[in-house]
Structure 1
Amino acid sequence: MRALRLLALAAFFPVAGFAQDAQTLADIRAEIAALQAEFNALKSELVSTGAAATGVAGGDALQRMDAIEAALMRLTGKTEEVELKLNRVVADGTNRIGDLEFRLCELEEGCDIAALGDTAPLGGAGGGAVAPIAPVVTDPASGGAVAGGPELAIGEQADFDRAKEVLGQGDFRTAADLFATFTQSYPGGPLTQEAHYLRGDALSQVGDTAGAARSYLEAFSGQPSGPQAAPALLKLGQALGALGQTPEACVTLQEVGTRFPGSAEAASAASAMAGLGCT
Protein backbone atom coordinates (compact mmCIF):
# COMPACT_ATOMS: atom_id res chain seq x y z
CA MET A 1 0.00 0.00 0.00
CA ARG A 2 2.81 2.44 0.77
CA ALA A 3 4.39 1.75 -2.64
CA LEU A 4 1.03 2.38 -4.37
CA ARG A 5 0.65 5.65 -2.43
CA LEU A 6 4.10 6.77 -3.52
CA LEU A 7 3.31 5.95 -7.15
CA ALA A 8 0.01 7.86 -6.96
CA LEU A 9 1.64 10.89 -5.37
CA ALA A 10 4.47 10.89 -7.91
CA ALA A 11 1.95 10.82 -10.79
CA PHE A 12 -0.28 13.55 -9.31
CA PHE A 13 2.38 15.88 -7.98
CA PRO A 14 3.29 17.80 -11.17
CA VAL A 15 -0.34 18.86 -11.58
CA ALA A 16 -1.06 19.67 -7.98
CA GLY A 17 2.28 21.31 -7.24
CA PHE A 18 2.29 23.81 -10.10
CA ALA A 19 -1.42 24.67 -10.14
CA GLN A 20 -2.29 28.27 -9.36
CA ASP A 21 -3.56 27.69 -5.83
CA ALA A 22 -2.46 28.80 -2.38
CA GLN A 23 0.72 26.68 -2.40
CA THR A 24 4.04 28.48 -2.63
CA LEU A 25 7.24 27.05 -4.02
CA ALA A 26 8.43 26.57 -0.46
CA ASP A 27 5.39 24.36 0.22
CA ILE A 28 6.10 22.32 -2.90
CA ARG A 29 9.75 21.79 -1.99
CA ALA A 30 8.73 20.75 1.53
CA GLU A 31 6.28 18.18 0.14
CA ILE A 32 8.91 16.76 -2.21
CA ALA A 33 11.33 16.47 0.70
CA ALA A 34 8.72 14.65 2.80
CA LEU A 35 7.91 12.36 -0.11
CA GLN A 36 11.60 11.62 -0.63
CA ALA A 37 12.00 10.76 3.06
CA GLU A 38 9.06 8.36 2.95
CA PHE A 39 10.40 6.79 -0.21
CA ASN A 40 13.82 6.24 1.32
CA ALA A 41 12.20 4.65 4.39
CA LEU A 42 10.18 2.27 2.21
CA LYS A 43 13.19 1.34 0.10
CA SER A 44 15.26 0.63 3.21
CA GLU A 45 12.44 -1.51 4.59
CA LEU A 46 12.27 -3.59 1.42
CA VAL A 47 16.03 -4.16 1.43
CA SER A 48 16.38 -4.85 5.16
CA THR A 49 13.49 -7.33 5.29
CA GLY A 50 14.61 -9.12 2.15
CA ALA A 51 11.26 -8.52 0.47
CA ALA A 52 12.91 -7.19 -2.66
CA ALA A 53 15.12 -10.25 -3.02
CA THR A 54 12.42 -12.86 -2.24
CA GLY A 55 9.86 -11.35 -4.58
CA VAL A 56 7.27 -10.76 -1.82
CA ALA A 57 6.95 -7.12 -2.90
CA GLY A 58 6.47 -8.12 -6.52
CA GLY A 59 8.85 -8.74 -9.38
CA ASP A 60 11.55 -6.18 -10.08
CA ALA A 61 10.57 -4.16 -6.97
CA LEU A 62 13.93 -2.40 -6.75
CA GLN A 63 13.74 -1.39 -10.41
CA ARG A 64 10.37 0.22 -9.82
CA MET A 65 11.73 1.97 -6.73
CA ASP A 66 14.65 3.29 -8.76
CA ALA A 67 12.20 4.66 -11.36
CA ILE A 68 10.22 6.45 -8.62
CA GLU A 69 13.43 7.87 -7.16
CA ALA A 70 14.42 9.21 -10.58
CA ALA A 71 10.99 10.81 -10.95
CA LEU A 72 11.37 12.51 -7.57
CA MET A 73 14.76 13.87 -8.58
CA ARG A 74 13.25 15.29 -11.78
CA LEU A 75 10.48 16.94 -9.75
CA THR A 76 13.04 18.52 -7.45
CA GLY A 77 14.95 19.86 -10.43
CA LYS A 78 11.78 21.24 -12.05
CA THR A 79 10.79 22.97 -8.81
CA GLU A 80 14.19 24.64 -8.53
CA GLU A 81 13.95 25.66 -12.20
CA VAL A 82 10.54 27.29 -11.67
CA GLU A 83 11.83 29.08 -8.57
CA LEU A 84 14.78 30.51 -10.51
CA LYS A 85 12.51 31.68 -13.34
CA LEU A 86 10.10 33.28 -10.87
CA ASN A 87 12.92 35.08 -9.12
CA ARG A 88 14.15 36.40 -12.47
CA VAL A 89 10.65 37.65 -13.34
CA VAL A 90 10.34 39.40 -9.98
CA ALA A 91 13.78 40.99 -10.35
CA ASP A 92 13.07 42.14 -13.91
CA GLY A 93 9.64 43.54 -12.98
CA THR A 94 11.07 45.32 -9.96
CA ASN A 95 13.83 46.88 -12.06
CA ARG A 96 11.31 48.10 -14.64
CA ILE A 97 9.12 49.66 -11.97
CA GLY A 98 12.16 51.31 -10.41
CA ASP A 99 13.10 52.75 -13.80
CA LEU A 100 9.58 54.12 -14.27
CA GLU A 101 9.65 55.68 -10.81
CA PHE A 102 12.96 57.38 -11.65
CA ARG A 103 11.65 58.70 -14.99
CA LEU A 104 8.42 59.94 -13.45
CA CYS A 105 10.34 61.67 -10.68
CA GLU A 106 12.38 63.52 -13.32
CA LEU A 107 9.14 64.78 -14.87
CA GLU A 108 7.40 65.61 -11.59
CA GLU A 109 8.01 69.08 -10.19
CA GLY A 110 9.62 69.07 -6.75
CA CYS A 111 10.40 65.33 -6.77
CA ASP A 112 13.67 64.45 -5.03
CA ILE A 113 15.31 61.55 -6.85
CA ALA A 114 17.67 60.95 -3.94
CA ALA A 115 14.69 60.33 -1.67
CA LEU A 116 13.14 57.58 -3.81
CA GLY A 117 14.92 54.76 -2.01
CA ASP A 118 14.93 51.15 -3.15
CA THR A 119 11.97 49.83 -5.10
CA ALA A 120 9.95 47.22 -3.23
CA PRO A 121 10.02 43.78 -4.93
CA LEU A 122 7.17 43.27 -7.37
CA GLY A 123 4.25 41.53 -5.72
CA GLY A 124 5.26 42.09 -2.11
CA ALA A 125 8.09 42.81 0.26
CA GLY A 126 9.18 39.19 0.27
CA GLY A 127 9.45 38.83 -3.50
CA GLY A 128 9.54 35.39 -5.09
CA ALA A 129 6.51 33.16 -4.60
CA VAL A 130 3.85 35.32 -3.06
CA ALA A 131 0.72 33.92 -1.50
CA PRO A 132 -2.50 35.14 -3.14
CA ILE A 133 -3.96 38.29 -1.63
CA ALA A 134 -7.39 37.82 -0.13
CA PRO A 135 -10.09 39.50 -2.22
CA VAL A 136 -11.79 42.58 -0.86
CA VAL A 137 -15.51 42.04 -0.42
CA THR A 138 -17.34 45.26 -1.13
CA ASP A 139 -20.81 46.57 -0.46
CA PRO A 140 -22.36 47.76 -3.76
CA ALA A 141 -24.25 50.49 -1.92
CA SER A 142 -21.28 52.06 -0.19
CA GLY A 143 -18.36 50.83 -2.30
CA GLY A 144 -16.50 49.88 0.88
CA ALA A 145 -15.33 46.66 2.48
CA VAL A 146 -17.83 44.63 4.48
CA ALA A 147 -17.74 41.62 6.79
CA GLY A 148 -16.07 38.66 5.14
CA GLY A 149 -13.29 40.73 3.57
CA PRO A 150 -9.98 41.81 5.12
CA GLU A 151 -10.37 43.59 8.44
CA LEU A 152 -10.24 47.38 8.29
CA ALA A 153 -8.42 49.58 10.77
CA ILE A 154 -10.44 51.92 12.96
CA GLY A 155 -11.42 54.94 10.90
CA GLU A 156 -10.10 53.47 7.66
CA GLN A 157 -13.46 53.15 5.92
CA ALA A 158 -14.60 56.60 7.07
CA ASP A 159 -11.40 58.26 5.83
CA PHE A 160 -11.68 56.50 2.48
CA ASP A 161 -15.34 57.43 2.09
CA ARG A 162 -14.57 61.05 2.93
CA ALA A 163 -11.85 61.26 0.25
CA LYS A 164 -14.12 59.57 -2.27
CA GLU A 165 -16.95 61.96 -1.43
CA VAL A 166 -14.70 64.97 -2.02
CA LEU A 167 -13.61 63.46 -5.35
CA GLY A 168 -17.25 63.08 -6.35
CA GLN A 169 -17.88 66.73 -5.49
CA GLY A 170 -15.23 67.80 -8.01
CA ASP A 171 -12.68 69.13 -5.52
CA PHE A 172 -9.89 67.15 -7.15
CA ARG A 173 -6.88 68.75 -5.47
CA THR A 174 -8.32 68.23 -1.99
CA ALA A 175 -9.33 64.70 -2.90
CA ALA A 176 -5.80 63.94 -4.10
CA ASP A 177 -4.40 65.23 -0.81
CA LEU A 178 -6.90 63.16 1.20
CA PHE A 179 -6.07 59.99 -0.72
CA ALA A 180 -2.35 60.67 -0.25
CA THR A 181 -2.88 60.99 3.49
CA PHE A 182 -4.98 57.82 3.45
CA THR A 183 -2.28 55.72 1.75
CA GLN A 184 0.30 56.98 4.24
CA SER A 185 -1.98 56.24 7.20
CA TYR A 186 -3.10 52.78 6.06
CA PRO A 187 -0.26 51.27 3.97
CA GLY A 188 -1.06 47.81 2.69
CA GLY A 189 -4.71 48.01 3.73
CA PRO A 190 -7.55 46.48 1.69
CA LEU A 191 -8.52 49.90 0.32
CA THR A 192 -5.01 51.21 -0.32
CA GLN A 193 -4.78 50.11 -3.96
CA GLU A 194 -8.07 51.81 -4.82
CA ALA A 195 -6.95 54.93 -2.95
CA HIS A 196 -3.79 55.13 -5.08
CA TYR A 197 -5.89 54.59 -8.21
CA LEU A 198 -8.45 57.26 -7.33
CA ARG A 199 -5.68 59.68 -6.39
CA GLY A 200 -4.34 59.18 -9.90
CA ASP A 201 -7.76 60.06 -11.30
CA ALA A 202 -7.90 63.19 -9.13
CA LEU A 203 -4.43 64.33 -10.21
CA SER A 204 -5.33 63.73 -13.85
CA GLN A 205 -8.25 66.11 -13.45
CA VAL A 206 -5.97 68.93 -12.27
CA GLY A 207 -3.46 68.35 -15.06
CA ASP A 208 -0.76 66.69 -12.95
CA THR A 209 -0.11 63.86 -15.39
CA ALA A 210 3.26 62.87 -13.91
CA GLY A 211 1.78 62.68 -10.42
CA ALA A 212 -1.16 60.68 -11.74
CA ALA A 213 1.19 58.24 -13.47
CA ARG A 214 3.08 57.75 -10.21
CA SER A 215 -0.16 57.00 -8.36
CA TYR A 216 -1.25 54.48 -11.00
CA LEU A 217 2.18 52.86 -10.79
CA GLU A 218 1.89 52.59 -7.00
CA ALA A 219 -1.61 51.12 -7.34
CA PHE A 220 -0.38 48.42 -9.71
CA SER A 221 3.01 47.58 -8.20
CA GLY A 222 1.60 47.26 -4.68
CA GLN A 223 -0.90 44.61 -5.76
CA PRO A 224 -0.29 43.35 -9.33
CA SER A 225 -3.23 40.93 -9.13
CA GLY A 226 -5.58 43.19 -7.19
CA PRO A 227 -9.01 44.41 -8.31
CA GLN A 228 -7.62 47.73 -9.62
CA ALA A 229 -4.48 46.28 -11.22
CA ALA A 230 -5.76 46.19 -14.80
CA PRO A 231 -7.22 49.73 -14.93
CA ALA A 232 -4.20 51.11 -13.06
CA LEU A 233 -1.76 49.57 -15.55
CA LEU A 234 -3.87 50.82 -18.46
CA LYS A 235 -3.98 54.39 -17.15
CA LEU A 236 -0.26 54.27 -16.35
CA GLY A 237 0.44 53.44 -19.98
CA GLN A 238 -1.88 56.18 -21.20
CA ALA A 239 -0.28 58.72 -18.84
CA LEU A 240 3.22 57.78 -20.02
CA GLY A 241 2.05 58.33 -23.59
CA ALA A 242 0.69 61.76 -22.66
CA LEU A 243 4.05 62.60 -21.08
CA GLY A 244 5.86 61.77 -24.30
CA GLN A 245 7.43 58.59 -22.91
CA THR A 246 6.27 56.59 -25.92
CA PRO A 247 8.58 53.53 -25.67
CA GLU A 248 7.70 53.06 -21.99
CA ALA A 249 4.03 53.64 -22.75
CA CYS A 250 4.04 50.99 -25.48
CA VAL A 251 5.70 48.41 -23.22
CA THR A 252 3.26 49.16 -20.40
CA LEU A 253 0.18 49.01 -22.62
CA GLN A 254 1.37 45.75 -24.15
CA GLU A 255 1.70 44.35 -20.64
CA VAL A 256 -2.01 45.04 -20.06
CA GLY A 257 -2.96 42.60 -22.80
CA THR A 258 -0.40 40.06 -21.60
CA ARG A 259 -1.52 40.11 -17.97
CA PHE A 260 -5.25 40.60 -18.49
CA PRO A 261 -6.14 39.01 -21.85
CA GLY A 262 -9.74 39.40 -22.97
CA SER A 263 -10.48 42.21 -20.52
CA ALA A 264 -11.97 45.59 -21.40
CA GLU A 265 -8.68 47.15 -20.30
CA ALA A 266 -6.78 44.97 -22.77
CA ALA A 267 -9.01 46.22 -25.61
CA SER A 268 -8.51 49.83 -24.53
CA ALA A 269 -4.76 49.28 -24.31
CA ALA A 270 -4.70 47.94 -27.87
CA SER A 271 -6.50 51.07 -29.08
CA ALA A 272 -4.07 53.30 -27.16
CA MET A 273 -1.10 51.46 -28.66
CA ALA A 274 -2.49 52.01 -32.14
CA GLY A 275 -2.87 55.72 -31.39
CA LEU A 276 0.75 55.92 -30.23
CA GLY A 277 2.02 54.01 -33.23
CA CYS A 278 3.44 51.18 -31.14
CA THR A 279 4.98 48.37 -33.14
Structure 2
Amino acid sequence: MLRGMVFGACLLAGSMAAAQQAETLADIKQDLAVLTVELRNLRSELNTTGSPDLGIRGSALDRIAAIEGELQRVTAKAEELEFRIGRVVQDGSNRIGDLKFRICELEPGCDIGKLGETDPLGGDAVPTAPVAQPATPPATDALPFDGELAISEEADFRSAADALEQGDYAGAELLFAQFRETYPMGPLEPAALVGEGRALEGQGDSREAARRYLSAYSGFPDAAVAPEALWRLGDAIAALGSIDDACITLGEVSVRYPGSDAVSRAEASRQTLGCQ
Protein backbone atom coordinates (compact mmCIF):
# COMPACT_ATOMS: atom_id res chain seq x y z
CA MET A 1 0.00 0.00 0.00
CA LEU A 2 2.76 2.44 1.02
CA ARG A 3 4.77 1.53 -2.06
CA GLY A 4 1.76 2.25 -4.27
CA MET A 5 1.22 5.66 -2.66
CA VAL A 6 4.89 6.61 -3.15
CA PHE A 7 4.79 5.48 -6.79
CA GLY A 8 1.59 7.50 -7.36
CA ALA A 9 3.13 10.58 -5.79
CA CYS A 10 6.19 10.29 -8.04
CA LEU A 11 4.00 10.02 -11.12
CA LEU A 12 2.00 13.05 -10.03
CA ALA A 13 5.16 15.11 -9.38
CA GLY A 14 6.59 14.13 -12.75
CA SER A 15 3.41 15.04 -14.61
CA MET A 16 3.27 18.44 -12.83
CA ALA A 17 6.89 19.20 -13.75
CA ALA A 18 6.24 18.22 -17.37
CA ALA A 19 3.12 20.40 -17.45
CA GLN A 20 5.04 23.36 -15.97
CA GLN A 21 7.84 22.97 -18.53
CA ALA A 22 5.34 22.65 -21.40
CA GLU A 23 3.50 25.77 -20.22
CA THR A 24 6.80 27.70 -19.96
CA LEU A 25 7.81 26.72 -23.49
CA ALA A 26 4.40 27.75 -24.76
CA ASP A 27 4.77 31.12 -23.07
CA ILE A 28 8.18 31.55 -24.67
CA LYS A 29 6.76 30.78 -28.12
CA GLN A 30 3.94 33.27 -27.51
CA ASP A 31 6.35 36.02 -26.42
CA LEU A 32 8.54 35.40 -29.45
CA ALA A 33 5.51 35.63 -31.73
CA VAL A 34 4.41 38.93 -30.15
CA LEU A 35 7.92 40.35 -30.40
CA THR A 36 8.16 39.31 -34.06
CA VAL A 37 4.90 41.10 -34.85
CA GLU A 38 6.07 44.27 -33.10
CA LEU A 39 9.35 44.27 -35.01
CA ARG A 40 7.51 43.68 -38.29
CA ASN A 41 5.22 46.63 -37.59
CA LEU A 42 8.23 48.79 -36.78
CA ARG A 43 9.97 47.73 -39.99
CA SER A 44 6.89 48.74 -41.99
CA GLU A 45 7.33 52.30 -40.69
CA LEU A 46 10.57 52.48 -42.69
CA ASN A 47 8.76 51.99 -46.00
CA THR A 48 7.98 55.09 -48.01
CA THR A 49 4.44 55.86 -49.16
CA GLY A 50 5.32 57.49 -52.46
CA SER A 51 7.10 60.48 -53.89
CA PRO A 52 6.71 63.62 -51.75
CA ASP A 53 5.08 66.68 -53.21
CA LEU A 54 5.84 69.66 -50.98
CA GLY A 55 4.22 72.16 -53.32
CA ILE A 56 6.79 74.84 -52.49
CA ARG A 57 5.87 77.63 -54.92
CA GLY A 58 5.27 81.35 -54.90
CA SER A 59 7.43 84.18 -53.63
CA ALA A 60 10.49 83.77 -51.46
CA LEU A 61 8.51 84.37 -48.26
CA ASP A 62 5.83 81.91 -49.37
CA ARG A 63 8.49 79.29 -50.02
CA ILE A 64 10.20 80.01 -46.71
CA ALA A 65 6.86 79.66 -44.89
CA ALA A 66 6.12 76.42 -46.74
CA ILE A 67 9.54 74.99 -45.93
CA GLU A 68 9.15 76.08 -42.30
CA GLY A 69 5.81 74.29 -42.04
CA GLU A 70 7.19 71.19 -43.70
CA LEU A 71 10.18 71.15 -41.34
CA GLN A 72 7.84 71.37 -38.35
CA ARG A 73 5.71 68.52 -39.71
CA VAL A 74 8.72 66.29 -40.41
CA THR A 75 10.20 67.11 -36.99
CA ALA A 76 6.94 66.18 -35.24
CA LYS A 77 6.74 62.93 -37.21
CA ALA A 78 10.37 62.08 -36.39
CA GLU A 79 9.74 62.70 -32.68
CA GLU A 80 6.66 60.47 -32.79
CA LEU A 81 8.59 57.65 -34.49
CA GLU A 82 11.50 58.09 -32.09
CA PHE A 83 9.11 57.66 -29.15
CA ARG A 84 7.51 54.56 -30.68
CA ILE A 85 10.88 53.02 -31.55
CA GLY A 86 12.07 53.68 -28.01
CA ARG A 87 9.05 51.86 -26.61
CA VAL A 88 9.57 48.87 -28.91
CA VAL A 89 13.28 48.70 -28.07
CA GLN A 90 12.60 48.85 -24.33
CA ASP A 91 9.76 46.34 -24.42
CA GLY A 92 11.59 43.99 -26.78
CA SER A 93 14.78 44.13 -24.71
CA ASN A 94 12.82 43.37 -21.54
CA ARG A 95 11.08 40.43 -23.22
CA ILE A 96 14.37 39.00 -24.51
CA GLY A 97 15.89 39.30 -21.04
CA ASP A 98 12.90 37.49 -19.58
CA LEU A 99 13.18 34.75 -22.21
CA LYS A 100 16.88 34.24 -21.43
CA PHE A 101 16.03 33.90 -17.74
CA ARG A 102 13.25 31.39 -18.34
CA ILE A 103 15.24 29.32 -20.83
CA CYS A 104 18.11 29.18 -18.33
CA GLU A 105 15.67 27.75 -15.78
CA LEU A 106 14.91 24.91 -18.18
CA GLU A 107 18.54 24.08 -19.01
CA PRO A 108 20.37 21.84 -16.52
CA GLY A 109 23.50 23.45 -15.05
CA CYS A 110 22.64 26.98 -16.24
CA ASP A 111 23.71 29.64 -13.72
CA ILE A 112 21.19 32.49 -13.76
CA GLY A 113 23.62 34.74 -11.93
CA LYS A 114 26.00 34.67 -14.90
CA LEU A 115 23.48 35.76 -17.53
CA GLY A 116 24.47 39.42 -17.24
CA GLU A 117 22.61 42.39 -18.70
CA THR A 118 20.63 42.04 -21.91
CA ASP A 119 21.87 44.20 -24.78
CA PRO A 120 19.14 46.48 -26.17
CA LEU A 121 17.64 45.77 -29.58
CA GLY A 122 19.78 47.33 -32.28
CA GLY A 123 23.02 46.61 -30.45
CA ASP A 124 23.63 50.08 -29.05
CA ALA A 125 22.50 51.59 -25.80
CA VAL A 126 20.35 54.69 -25.98
CA PRO A 127 22.72 57.66 -25.54
CA THR A 128 22.15 59.69 -22.45
CA ALA A 129 22.38 63.44 -22.41
CA PRO A 130 25.45 64.83 -20.67
CA VAL A 131 24.94 66.13 -17.17
CA ALA A 132 24.43 69.87 -17.33
CA GLN A 133 27.06 71.94 -15.58
CA PRO A 134 26.97 75.70 -15.06
CA ALA A 135 28.79 77.53 -17.82
CA THR A 136 30.63 80.71 -16.88
CA PRO A 137 32.03 82.16 -20.09
CA PRO A 138 33.83 85.49 -19.93
CA ALA A 139 31.61 88.53 -20.50
CA THR A 140 33.67 89.49 -23.57
CA ASP A 141 33.19 86.08 -25.16
CA ALA A 142 29.61 85.21 -24.32
CA LEU A 143 27.89 82.30 -26.04
CA PRO A 144 24.63 82.87 -27.95
CA PHE A 145 22.70 81.13 -25.17
CA ASP A 146 21.73 82.35 -21.72
CA GLY A 147 21.61 79.23 -19.57
CA GLU A 148 23.52 76.17 -18.39
CA LEU A 149 25.59 73.96 -20.65
CA ALA A 150 27.65 70.82 -20.27
CA ILE A 151 31.34 71.66 -19.97
CA SER A 152 32.24 69.49 -22.97
CA GLU A 153 29.43 71.04 -25.03
CA GLU A 154 30.76 74.56 -24.42
CA ALA A 155 34.35 73.51 -25.17
CA ASP A 156 33.40 71.80 -28.45
CA PHE A 157 31.38 74.81 -29.60
CA ARG A 158 34.22 77.20 -28.79
CA SER A 159 36.66 75.02 -30.75
CA ALA A 160 34.45 75.24 -33.82
CA ALA A 161 33.93 78.98 -33.35
CA ASP A 162 37.68 79.56 -32.97
CA ALA A 163 38.38 77.68 -36.21
CA LEU A 164 35.81 79.86 -37.98
CA GLU A 165 37.29 83.10 -36.66
CA GLN A 166 40.78 81.97 -37.68
CA GLY A 167 39.62 81.43 -41.26
CA ASP A 168 39.86 77.63 -41.15
CA TYR A 169 36.54 77.23 -42.94
CA ALA A 170 36.91 73.54 -43.80
CA GLY A 171 37.89 72.72 -40.23
CA ALA A 172 35.08 74.85 -38.84
CA GLU A 173 32.52 73.16 -41.08
CA LEU A 174 33.66 69.75 -39.85
CA LEU A 175 33.69 70.80 -36.18
CA PHE A 176 30.25 72.41 -36.34
CA ALA A 177 28.83 69.33 -38.10
CA GLN A 178 30.37 67.05 -35.46
CA PHE A 179 29.03 69.33 -32.73
CA ARG A 180 25.47 69.07 -34.09
CA GLU A 181 25.82 65.29 -34.32
CA THR A 182 27.17 64.99 -30.78
CA TYR A 183 24.60 67.35 -29.21
CA PRO A 184 21.51 67.03 -31.44
CA MET A 185 18.85 69.70 -30.93
CA GLY A 186 20.78 71.19 -28.02
CA PRO A 187 20.54 74.85 -26.95
CA LEU A 188 23.41 75.80 -29.28
CA GLU A 189 21.94 74.03 -32.33
CA PRO A 190 20.80 77.26 -34.09
CA ALA A 191 24.16 78.94 -33.45
CA ALA A 192 25.96 75.86 -34.77
CA LEU A 193 23.82 75.96 -37.91
CA VAL A 194 24.74 79.61 -38.48
CA GLY A 195 28.40 78.84 -37.83
CA GLU A 196 28.35 75.93 -40.26
CA GLY A 197 26.63 78.16 -42.81
CA ARG A 198 29.36 80.79 -42.45
CA ALA A 199 32.01 78.12 -42.87
CA LEU A 200 30.34 76.86 -46.04
CA GLU A 201 29.97 80.40 -47.33
CA GLY A 202 33.66 80.97 -46.67
CA GLN A 203 34.36 78.05 -49.01
CA GLY A 204 32.13 79.50 -51.72
CA ASP A 205 29.20 77.10 -51.19
CA SER A 206 26.36 79.64 -50.96
CA ARG A 207 23.66 77.09 -51.68
CA GLU A 208 24.45 74.84 -48.71
CA ALA A 209 25.09 77.91 -46.57
CA ALA A 210 21.58 79.18 -47.40
CA ARG A 211 20.15 75.84 -46.31
CA ARG A 212 21.89 76.07 -42.92
CA TYR A 213 20.67 79.65 -42.41
CA LEU A 214 17.14 78.64 -43.36
CA SER A 215 17.22 75.72 -40.92
CA ALA A 216 18.43 78.02 -38.13
CA TYR A 217 15.80 80.67 -38.82
CA SER A 218 12.79 78.47 -39.57
CA GLY A 219 13.56 75.84 -36.94
CA PHE A 220 14.44 78.30 -34.15
CA PRO A 221 12.71 81.64 -34.90
CA ASP A 222 13.05 82.79 -31.27
CA ALA A 223 16.74 81.96 -30.91
CA ALA A 224 19.28 84.69 -30.26
CA VAL A 225 20.88 84.06 -33.68
CA ALA A 226 17.59 83.98 -35.63
CA PRO A 227 17.89 87.63 -36.83
CA GLU A 228 21.44 86.98 -38.03
CA ALA A 229 20.31 83.76 -39.72
CA LEU A 230 17.58 85.61 -41.64
CA TRP A 231 19.99 88.38 -42.67
CA ARG A 232 22.63 85.92 -43.82
CA LEU A 233 19.94 83.92 -45.63
CA GLY A 234 19.09 87.03 -47.67
CA ASP A 235 22.75 87.57 -48.54
CA ALA A 236 23.14 83.91 -49.54
CA ILE A 237 20.06 84.10 -51.77
CA ALA A 238 21.56 87.17 -53.44
CA ALA A 239 24.81 85.27 -54.00
CA LEU A 240 22.79 82.62 -55.80
CA GLY A 241 21.47 85.27 -58.21
CA SER A 242 17.91 85.71 -56.89
CA ILE A 243 18.12 89.43 -56.17
CA ASP A 244 14.38 90.05 -55.87
CA ASP A 245 13.93 87.19 -53.42
CA ALA A 246 16.98 88.38 -51.51
CA CYS A 247 15.57 91.90 -51.18
CA ILE A 248 12.27 90.54 -49.83
CA THR A 249 14.06 88.30 -47.35
CA LEU A 250 16.34 91.08 -46.14
CA GLY A 251 13.33 93.38 -45.71
CA GLU A 252 11.75 90.86 -43.36
CA VAL A 253 14.55 91.29 -40.82
CA SER A 254 13.28 94.67 -39.62
CA VAL A 255 9.68 93.40 -39.66
CA ARG A 256 10.28 90.23 -37.66
CA TYR A 257 13.16 91.39 -35.46
CA PRO A 258 12.93 95.16 -34.97
CA GLY A 259 15.68 96.56 -32.80
CA SER A 260 18.14 93.72 -33.43
CA ASP A 261 21.69 94.32 -34.65
CA ALA A 262 20.87 92.41 -37.84
CA VAL A 263 18.46 95.16 -38.99
CA SER A 264 21.24 97.61 -39.88
CA ARG A 265 23.24 94.88 -41.57
CA ALA A 266 20.25 93.76 -43.60
CA GLU A 267 19.56 97.36 -44.62
CA ALA A 268 23.18 97.78 -45.72
CA SER A 269 22.82 94.63 -47.82
CA ARG A 270 19.61 95.98 -49.36
CA GLN A 271 21.36 99.21 -50.33
CA THR A 272 24.23 97.28 -51.87
CA LEU A 273 21.79 95.22 -53.93
CA GLY A 274 19.81 98.30 -54.93
CA CYS A 275 16.58 97.03 -53.39
CA GLN A 276 13.55 99.28 -53.70
TM-score of the superposed pair, with normalisation by structure 1? 0.49
Greater Rg by CA: 2
